[in-house]
Amino acid sequence: MPDAPCARIGAYAVYATSRRTPLGVPCAGTISGGLPVVRVGVIGGGQLARMMIPPAVNLGIDLRVLAETEGMAASLAATAVGDYHDVETVLAFARDVDVITFDHEHVPQDVLHALVDAGVPVHPGPDALLFAQDKLLMRQKLSDLGLPVPAWARVETEDELQDFLDANGGHAVVKTPRGGYDGKGVRVVSAAHEASDWFTTLAEHGAQDALLVEEFVDFRRELAQLSARRPSGELVLWPVVESIQRDGVCAEVLAPAPGSAGRIADVAAQIAADVATGLGVTGVFAVELFETQDDRLLINELAMRPHNSGHWTQDGSTTSQFEQHLRAVLDLPLGATGCTEPHTVMVNILGGPADGALADRYSSALGAHPTAKIHNYGKDPRPGRKVGHVNASGSRLDVVAYEARAAAAFFQN
């Protein structure tokens, strides 16, 4: 398939007029014969860092990972093991790389600023990551930018929460501003006392002196707009996808989202562009969206890194989100974001086999599903843990969804 016209929006495809990539300057890294190579340092050794390894190998990029512990998903590329909260550890790691990027959004601001002060390019930068680290700051910023968000409030007391509930139909979603992921730190309440334990422990969380409360959105489905932006401005967008959550965790992604061509794609693209420039995001980022019953798109969450909603790009797009992220943080021209097949479906492998490794099921799973692409994070199975995913692509959504679901099912019992 040729690239979909929506994939690269002309107005946003701003090519660099000045070169800020480290490629243009001499660097310390060399390969055997003494030629300069490009070194990207990734803080965090999880599956997102792991999935940057294949495109780094393809492009001849020296990927270096600072892992939290030995034996993590990205251990093949780990050149250091240490605590990313420690400034000296991170500065030492950053000494040999051309740019620092991330497996997650949790590196503290003081560490990020120490890197910047030391002259290390950091993408996304501290100012952008601040919004990803604090949901209250993010909601405030998005509101200031005039972007469509659910009704929300900062609440410091049960009384304030009850006032919000009374004004918003009696149901709301309460979130801890920091530290939540995959449904953690998120609670649906219909009375203020249901969040009393969180108010009690607010003080214990240090910087968190309030909770975020949002209206309970009556959504038809959840969508995500995956995009990438270079420091010098170029922005590219993949097709909008539909993400299906179970128990607060992404279970499946349908790419593109059925019926999203046209208005939905246009609105989502505009939102992503406004977010990128408004928040100064660099690298790959994902805007998670609610499609409401009354046909609006509201911003749910924002991830400033490759994202589960973009894993389908590994096997369904001309450029995977992991290759694109490397290109973006190096300020290299971005790759085409069209679909290589009309439909790709991603199904997460949650938990994994109860009695062994994913590879124990390869004989049966691969035999039954020769078109399925298996991604194994090399992590020990554990209930609810994301240990891998399956992509399947083709011309019929029902067939593709069946293949991906059926192949993934081999690994989940």
For residue 169 the two structure tokens come to 């139909």
The burial class, CB within 10 Å (0-12 / 13-18 / 19+), for 30 is exposed
Question: Residues 93 to 152: which contact a second copy by CB under 8 A?
Answer: none
Among 261, 263, 242, 276, CA closest to 346? 242
Report if residue 406 touches a second copy, rule: CB under 8 A: no
Contact status: 35 vs a second copy (CB under 8 A):
yes
Q: Annotated binding residue at 173?
A: no
> Minimum Å distance from CB 268 to a second copy?
21
Q: To the nearest whole angstrom, how small is the minimum distance from the Cβ of residue 25 to a second copy?
A: 11
Beta pairing partners, 297: 291
Residue 215 among known ligand-binding residues: yes
379 is in an annotated binding site: no
Closer by beta carbon to a second copy, 239 or else 388? 388
Q: Check residue 2 and report its DSSP letter.
A: P
Residues touching a second copy, count (CB under 8 A): 69
Would you state the structure tokens that stand for residue 60, as one six-digit string? 């001849």
By CB under 8 A, is residue 413 in contact with a second copy? no
Nearer to a second copy, 280 or 342 (CB): 342
> Applying CB under 8 A, does 383 fall inside the site for a second copy?
no
* DSSP, res 358: G
**CB nearer to a second copy: pick between 1 and 92:** 1
| Residue 169 phi, psi dihedral angles, 5° rounding | 80, 5
**What tokens does 316 get?**
């369904």
Q: Is 380 in the site for a second copy (CB under 8 A)?
A: yes
Angstrom distance (rounded) from CA 390 to CA 405? 8
Kindly tell me the burial class for residue 128, based on how many C-beta atoms sit within 10 Å of its own C-beta (0-12, 13-18, 19 or more). Answer: buried
The piece of 158-166, 272-280, 301-309, 354-362 that touches a second copy (CB under 8 A) is: 354-362
Residues 6+ apart with CB under 8 A from 362: 374
Q: Which stretch binds a second copy (CB under 8 A): 30-38, 154-162, 168-176, 204-212?
A: 30-38
Question: What does the alpha-carbon distance between residue 378 and residue 357 come to, in Å, rounded to a whole number?
Answer: 9
Is residue 217 a known part of a binding site? yes
Handedness of CA 367, 368, 371, 373 (dihedral sign): negative
363 binds a second copy (CB under 8 A): yes
3-state secondary structure of 118: coil
For residue 368, the tally of other CB atoms under 10 A from its CB is 13
Contact flag: residue 82 with a second copy (CB under 8 A): no
214 annotated as ligand-binding: yes
**Closer residue to a second copy (CB): 15 or 170:** 15
Phi, psi of 204 (to 5 degrees): -65, -20
351 interacts with a second copy by CB under 8 A: no
Show the binding pattern over residues 278-317: x = contacts a second copy (CB under 8 A), - = does not.
Answer: ------------------------------------x---
Three-state SS at 51: coil
User: Which amino acid makes up residue 261?
Assistant: A
The answer to the question of whether 135 is labelled as a binding residue is yes
Known binding residues are 135, 175, 214-217, 222, 300-301
For a second copy, the binding residues (CB under 8 A) are 1-3, 8, 15-16, 19, 21, 23-24, 31-38, 50-51, 53-55, 57-61, 70-72, 76-77, 314, 318-319, 327, 332-336, 338, 340-341, 356-360, 362-363, 366-367, 370-371, 373-381, 388, 393-395
- Provide the annotated binding site for ATP: 135, 175, 214-217, 222, 300-301
